[in-house]
Amino acid sequence: MNITTLSILQQEYPKLMEDGIIQSNVPLKEHCSFQIGGPAEVFCTPYTQNQLLDLLRFCLNHKTPYFILGKGSNLLISDKGLSGIVISTERFTELTVEQEYITASCGVTLKDLCNYACENGLSGLEFASGIPGSVGGAVFMNAGAYNYEIKDVLHSSVCILPTWESINSLSPILYLKVEEHNFSYRHSVLQDKELIHLSSVFHLKRDNSETIKRRMDEYQQKRQQKQPLELPSAGSVFRRPEGFYTGRLIEDCGLKGFRIGDAAISEKHCGFIVNLGSATAKDVLQLIQHIQEVVYEHYNVKLQTEIRFLGEM
């Protein structure tokens, strides 16, 4: 993006600039769990659906690249940052409950969603209580743990179809039933059609809040024992290859603790790469490639990454 485009944005949406919704050169390492990444040329934090639609309309009408950012828990962002516009959904945090259904906006953290369900005596989301990230990212990736996935509790979602025709029409909103999400392992239709998640409804079951809290605590204790929660990471780096456990493969190759710069294979769980303090995206990428080469050499298994890569690496 150049100064002319930024000037046009300011001319078309001066109120968004005045309210601090549009900012420039914001460090993205402050907006992702890896704590790695250069600046966003333009960083936007809309409060409302209409503001979000205005920003998308601007991007599509002016052919400006954009990226929708949730909590950034599954991302490796380039050291050079991102050109164009980054739109954060962190301010979309509405939660409501009706009988056994909870509606959660895309920017709600999974932790807050699970705590809200617990407070309202609704069970089914305990498995997700320790998963980092937002509701939007969880639905996008069909997040899961302990043999449960988001698809198991999802009822429906509201999304934006980000095409020029749709955004400039009177009805850019899509309503998806659970079966229309085309869920599979870490995959949904949102990825295929590049849909923008707005909110989801979860269908849960009544249970005692103390019992729900006890299950959540048990899952969290397991995570603390097995995962490097004390250090910045992007969660599991690789998809699980059929018939193998990724962490065990990497550990059996003698790579536990191996590091490049400040990017290191976790001593606690070899499926995680952690930031020891000042890791760069280049460090992480080189470490990923090294792991893939060594595992393939030892076991003839090609590890596929689960994290997403943003920007020029």
Residue 143 carries which DSSP code? -
**Around Cβ 30, how many Cβ atoms within 10 Å?**
11
Candidate list 57, 90, 91, 186, residue with the active-site label: 186
Catalytic residue status for 166: no
Candidate list 157, 233, 236, 266, residue with the active-site label: 236
One DSSP character per residue, 242-294 reads: TTS-HHHHHHHTT-TT-EETTEEE-SS-TTEEEE-SS--HHHHHHHHHHHHHH
Going from the C-alpha of 284 to that of each of 274, 275, 276, 279, the distances in angstroms are 9, 9, 11, 7
Catalytic residue status for 236: yes
Q: Can you state the percent helix, strand and coil of the chain, rounding each to 5?
A: 35, 25, 35
Catalytic residue status for 215: no
Residue 30 carries which DSSP code? G
Distance between CA atoms of 112 and 132, rounded to whole angstroms? 11
Q: Which residues are catalytic?
A: 186, 236, 306
